[in-house]
A and B are shown apart, each in its own frame.
Chain A
Amino acid sequence: MSAAAPGTSKAAHGEAGPKKKKGPGALATAYLVIYNVVMTAGWLVIAVGLVRAYLARGSYHGLYYSIEKPLKFVLWAAENSFFPYLTVFSVLSPNSGIVPSSVVLTGFQVMSRVFLTWAVTHSVREVQSEDSVLLFVTAWTITEIIRYSFYTFSLLNHLPYLIKWARYTFFIVLYPMGVTGELLTIYAALPYVQKTGLYSVTLPNKYNFSFDYYTFLILVMVSYIPLFPQLYFHMIRQRKKVLGHTEDYSKIE
């Protein structure tokens, strides 16, 4: 990836400044700790919101409304802190127990969650009462609480084994659970998108362009077929690397 400064005539020979590889300073660590604490708290708010709404209503229909705002907040925070976060994070000490995950995969995950939340659930009111929404929100919530506390503790160099284990084990159930919820939600949105022509552009028009959101959603669903196994097996490989020893497998049973 080229990081060259713009090629104005003033630019002398070569890039702007040497590239140094070093761990994060105290300031960067403080920023990262605060960021991860805030994110853990954000997802905890969602978890608490879900539980409270369930207890208040006695059923789990329509719990989306109770957590809509905190969910949008955590995704906004993830999107906007994502790049500076990862740039620093990727050079953390190797002894922290963190296996640096691929930038592309994590970025992709943030994007797909933003898509599910805004472009599907928020945009198609009729699916907001579907149980499938609860399914993926729950999966995301549990995953993210564990993941952000994992980062927080790692940064403070006090990572309880339980959190490490949970992070690299819960996904085995939570990923398929989340994917199922996501796919069912998109599927539920299809008839409404087709009926209303949501986000779609038809010919003729002066830009000579067309877009069929209905077809696009179907393609998104199809894309899960190659993409989900890659993400899933990536995590399984990470699990082997991080948890490694065979004694751990007997602890699970």
Chain B
Amino acid sequence: MKHYEVEILDAKTKDKLCFLDKVEPNATIGEIKSMFHKSHPQWYPARQSIRLDPKGKSLKDEDVLQQLPVGTTATFYFRDLGAQISWVTVFLTEYTGPLVIYLLFYFRVPFIYTPKYDFTTSKHWVVHLACMCHSFHYVKRLLETLFVHRFSHGTMPLRNIFKNCTYYWGFAAWMAYYINHPLYTPPIYGEQQIRLALIVFLFCQIGNFSIHIALRNLRPPGSKTRKIPYPTKNPFTWIFLLVSCPNYTYELGSWLGFTLMTQCLPVAFFTLVGFIQMTVWAKGKHRSYLKEFRDYPPLRSPILPFVL
């Protein structure tokens, strides 16, 4: 069996960083990354981007050496992706924040409102309901992160955790401040409005969860395969007929429900910003589905049926 030689150059300076000889032809990029890590311990595999071309796309960990367009002496280019942090860590941190922060406002912890209100509770029952819904939502997200989601990427750049936490924690504090404020005004249409909002919210929470389960079941444990999602027996997944990313559709629905329930402008802003971001993600996902699968159902829109 012929062995390969692998040299790794810096993509920017073209300096020779590493030379590996006697590499197995069926070695994967992932294995090569581990070997590279041994000679450069500060660059753990997650922060290595290995490419065939200095300006090209990163090769995947699963790519096999002998299947790449390289000679028996393969030259790869390396780029440092910077400090990385795992997706799970980021999700857990960014979701725990809102859960805790909202409760601080709900219990009217000192230094938020006027001292005479410290540790009092709101007289409006919708405020208690809102707290339950908000907390339920983030507990659900935490549990999904731990037990449901199968991530394609292990890590993301470290700076993302600061950006993401600022977004989630900041908005949570802003919304919670008003909902739990002593001068909070409950919804104009009272019980009717709150009831409708609760139904919408719960419906979308179940929907969102159903989609997460369906997506998880597409992918065997530990794998990174991508398949077209289809409706299952669960009626909440039938929306796949019309939409590529119904998890985002349901998420939007949940927050619209919460906005209606609390009748709070900051919640509406949060819903709007979230909707914009999810639309960007949905469009990207929809485009990659179209690129990858020739037979992708043409009726589907990225996030809103027929519209967006």
Contact = CB atoms under 8 A, between A and B. Distances in A.
B212 to A, nearest CB: 22
Contact of B185 (A6, A7, A205): A205
Interface string B279-307: 01011101100110000001111110010
Interface stretch (A89-97, A119-127, A155-163, A207-215): A207-215
Contacts of A225: none
Contacts of B17: none
A14 B292 CA distance: 11
A7 B183 contact: no
A215 to B, nearest CB: 14
A245 interface: no
B173 to A, nearest CB: 14
Nearest to B290: A13
Interface stretch (B37-45, B103-111, B258-266): B258-266
Contacts of B282: 7
Contacts of B284: 2
Given A7-B301, A8-B301, A208-B263, A2 B283 contact: yes
Nearest to A10: B298
Contact of A4 (B262, B283, B300): B283
Contacts of A2: 280, 283-284
A45 B8 CA distance: 61
Contacts of A4: 283, 287
Given A2-B280, A14-B291, A205-B185, A9 B299 contact: yes
Contact of A208 (B185, B300, B302): B185
Contact of B178 (A7, A9, A208): A208
A208 B290 contact: no
B134 interface: no
A207 B308 contact: no
Given A2-B280, A206-B188, A207-B264, A9 B306 contact: yes
Contact of A203 (B183, B262, B299): B183
Majority secondary structure, A binding face: loop
Interface residues of A, number: 16
Contact of B308 (A6, A13, A203, A208): A6
Contacts of B287: 4, 14
Interface residues of B, number: 29
B240 to A, nearest CB: 14
Interface in B56-79: none
A8 B290 CA distance: 13
Contacts of B184: 203-204, 208
Interface in B252-279: 262-266
Contacts of A203: 178, 181, 183-184
Given A14-B287, A210-B178, A9 B300 contact: yes
B179 interface: yes
Contacts of B306: 8-9
A2 B291 CA distance: 16
Contacts of B301: 7-9
A31 to B, nearest CB: 31
A208 B179 contact: yes
B308 A204 contact: no
B183 to A, nearest CB: 4
B250 to A, nearest CB: 18
A8 B244 CA distance: 12
Contacts of A210: 178
Given A2-B280, A6-B308, A9-B301, A204 B183 contact: yes
A7 B302 contact: yes
16 contacts: A4-B283, A4-B287, A7-B302, A8-B301, A9-B299, A9-B301, A9-B306, A14-B290, A203-B181, A204-B183, A207-B263, A208-B179, A208-B185, A208-B262, A209-B178, A209-B264
Interface of B: 178-179, 181, 183-185, 188, 244, 262-266, 280, 282-284, 286-287, 290-291, 298-303, 306, 308
Instruction: Give 8 nearest A-B pairs by CB, closest first.
Output: A209-B265, A204-B183, A208-B264, A203-B183, A7-B302, A207-B265, A208-B178, A13-B290
